[in-house]
Amino acid sequence: MKEKILDCYIFTLRKRLSDISLIGMISKIFTPRIVAGSAGLALLTILLLLPFSSAWAGKRVNLDITSAEFKKIPVAVPYFVDSNRPNEIQQAGQELAMLASKALDFHGFIKTISPTSYGGRQDADWANVGADFVVTVQYAGSADNVVMEMRLTDVLEGKMILGLKYTFPWNKRKQMVLKFCDAIIEKLTGIPGVCDTKIAFVSDKTGQKEIFLVDIFGDSVRQVTRHKFLAVSPRFSPDNKKLAYTSYHRGNANLYITELSQDKTTQAFSRRSGLNMAPAWTPNGDSLVVTLSKDGNPDLYQLSTDGSVVRRLTTNAGLNVAPCFSPDGSKLAFVSDRTGEPQVYIMDYKSGTVNRITYQGNENTTPAWSPDGKWIAYTGKDDGRYQLFKISPEGGQPVQLTSSAGDHEAPSWSPDSRLIVFSRAVNSQKKLYVISQNGKDMRQLYSFEGNQTTPQWSNRMN
């Protein structure tokens, strides 16, 4: 019932009657930068395998994968070979090769070739197989550690363009494979991959809306909140150690911060009367911008990390929500209905000067600033449905990214600015999807129980 009350509060001006609460709507339109914390890998050695030729030393391929005409790169990933048994196909070698293929395919611009088409051998005729690049890995284990040698070869040039050697405990083998895959992505494009990232989201699988974390493959799911009540809008601190969010379990929309190193306690950050809504951490982590309604109108405030008010950023100019910082922290995107309908605005964070950037459509929300600073993704209402758009921070003509059935909401960028995760509602089911920044290759990420909404993509863990 509290969700319905909040829903009426925010949508009365627009007479939007739906099952989306104020908390849900604001969590939908808040899109902060997310980073996630993680313990470092016990990496003993990271060495170059072999000297590269002078022509290839340090050279990046730097493929332009943002073009709408770009076609996926065919890459072969044969089974990893155990150097102690080179003539035998090992289950571990098959599984690790499959993991590498899955990781490379996830990035959206690579299409790995099924190893069954060439027997999974590392000595196949790669030109005939149709591969532009090939990934070969050999590993050898001892009582304590594994040595893994990894190579990326350009088939056309006939040269190795990346070689790495890792020594690590066997239980870290998957992390090392993903680390190599991120290095491959960097070699091809100039920007590291996103294998070592997390996605935070809200799920109702427990019967209440709680916050969860998951890796990009959906293999490792962690429940963060256990209030047995409405918890929304997860936001990671820049140092990866804390998670801020809003919960209603005390009868008010309050802000909390929890240390991710444990699961037992959480600390109230702002429990002022009225709304205390999802914060956007400043890039340096020394303060946060939140929506408070303690003085009547929902306005943006800068708070220090102890919860004290530093300054008020907006004053009674309509509803002001969804703060989202530019990568350099100099500007703040947010949503306001000061003109009678929700639109995206940009504020100069130092001077407070505000400019509106969205004019197409009568409802534009959920701004998310790309990590490279080039785009702001947002949710816009189009023909009665919510679709994803992107627009330059300077404004101009928006680019529509989705047009399929259902509602597409709450975009959040991958740290490489190539992918966008969002929530899509079809037939009363809300699931997480990902799409390339050029609007191609939309696909469902997970098949979890219940509904998943308001995803937030972390920065790289390490």
Q: Which of 24-38, 59-73, 411-425, 432-446 is predicted least confidently?
A: 24-38
Tell me the per-residue pLDDT of 170-211, one tens digit each, with 9 for 90 and over.
999 999 999 999 999 999 999 999 999 999 999 999 999 999
% helix, strand, coil for the chain, step of 5: 15, 40, 50
Q: How many CA atoms lie within 13 A of 84 on its CB side?
A: 9
pLDDT of residue 62: 54
Whether 44 and 33 have beta carbons less than 8 Å apart is answered as: no
Q: Residue 206, class by beta-carbon neighbours within 10 Å (0-12 exposed, 13-18 middle, 19+ buried)?
A: middle
pLDDT, averaged across the chain: 86
Does the domain at 45-189 match CATH 3.40.50.10070? Answer given as yes
CATH 3.40.50.10070 in the chain, residues? 45-189
Neighbouring-strand partners of residue 214: 199, 221
Tell me the per-residue pLDDT of 46-61, one tens digit each, with 9 for 90 and over.
333 333 333 333 444 5
CATH 2.120.10.30 in the chain, residues? 2-38+196-459
Tell me the per-residue pLDDT of 282-308, one tens digit each, with 9 for 90 and over.
999 999 999 999 999 999 999 998 999
Q: Which residues contact 171 (CB under 8 A, 6 or more apart)?
A: none
Whether 335 and 345 have beta carbons less than 8 Å apart is answered as: yes
The pTM score is: 0.85
> What is the domain class of 2-38+196-459 according to CATH?
mainly beta
Task: Return d(Cα 99, Cα 105) in angstroms, integer.
Answer: 10
DSSP letters, 301-364, are EEEETTS-EEEE---SSS-EEEEEE-TTSSEEEEEE-TTSS-EEEEEETTT--EEE---SSS-E
